Structure 1
Amino acid sequence: MTIFDSLTEKERLMFGIIVVLTILTLFLGYSYFTEKDRSPTALNKGTIKKETSALETSTPVTDDKTKNPSKVLMVDVKGAVRSPDVYQITNGKRINDVILMAGGFTEDANPNGINLAKLLEDEMVVYVPEIGESGENPAFSQIQEEGGRVNINKADATELQEIPGIGPTKAGAIIRYREEHGPFQSIEDLTNVPGIGEKTLEQMKEKITI
């Protein structure tokens, strides 16, 4: 006769309930700790995916003058610098960079009329006047051509607004057109820019060049 056989019916029932609860507790405990071990891995995968997406969507938009940094520009530096010459410099550099390549300003230099932050362009002339020197600064001869005309292929937003009928919105549209389609091949191509029609073109025709 076993110990179980000696138990009353009520005691057997209680014993069975205890066994079932014990098994259920062990099962739930095993499931809890198994899921707890897995959750950090799932979280890390989700985090990595979000971080990757953030990197993909935060790619900077580059200007047409800087998106090809391997291009080499030829810039003629003249005037009151220590070593006037024609310099080779990579795309995306500014007037200040090429002046430093030329040894910097001389003691007689007057840099007040020069925008040192302006991006360089190929075949550009940078002229540094001396103190007391008068006359137009050739550093901007790429923008302002003969007769005071504005070069629509090289002028920035501020310079484009010197053209009759061109405000900030249209100046921005002109720059976007250049970035997307390249330089204007003719003055008439301006009519392809949103907001500029034949009438607007007639108003500015004598003030622009390419």
Structure 2
Amino acid sequence: MAKIKEYVLAYWQYGALAFLALTAAIVWLTAVRKPAESTVSVADSSVYTSSSSAVSGSTSANSKPSSGYVYVSGAVKHPGLYHVGPTTRWADVVQAAGGLTKDADPGQVNLAQIAHDEENMAVPVRGETVATVAPVSGSGQTTAAGGASAGGSSTQINLNTATVTDLQTISGIGPKRAQDIIDYRDQHGGFKTVDELKEISGIGDKIFADLAPSVTVSP
């Protein structure tokens, strides 16, 4: 027992030094590993964030409006604005408007065409001659019955014989303005010149300049 005590007293300094060295090594290794792990974690997070942003941006860029409203008038039971989806056809719009009236002439319009936001279709009655047949798009182009775009028509509408439906085939004339033109004609016994359009409320020089090439006046 005495020998063991002498041995411990003689060599305890070496054991303490070894313990301190081991502790220092452990602390150093821990300090070195933590920054590396932290760096990897941040990098991974950055990659994930960038990827998520790219996917989100792509989705946003590809998303487009798929619905809107169109106006149907003329020989339908309930003219007015109707909501359309990406695959709604004019036949669906006419059906939603209560269907065609008995005197409708659907042969002059393309009911199989897809209806787009801001378009307008005026369904003519039998015996009515329509120079350019709706739908009329928000851009001012008219679409003929066959479905081809006809950026403008060379046929002019006679203000003294045109119906409300005829007038609505002209870009810039809606249901109210068409009726105002008819009312003016009835009150004044017909148009003597195209310039008389400027006497109608709401038709100024700019609107008149747009309408004038599409109309004419004859008995």
Flag the structure with larger Rg: 2
TM-score (ref. length: structure 2): 0.39
TM-score (ref. length: structure 1): 0.40
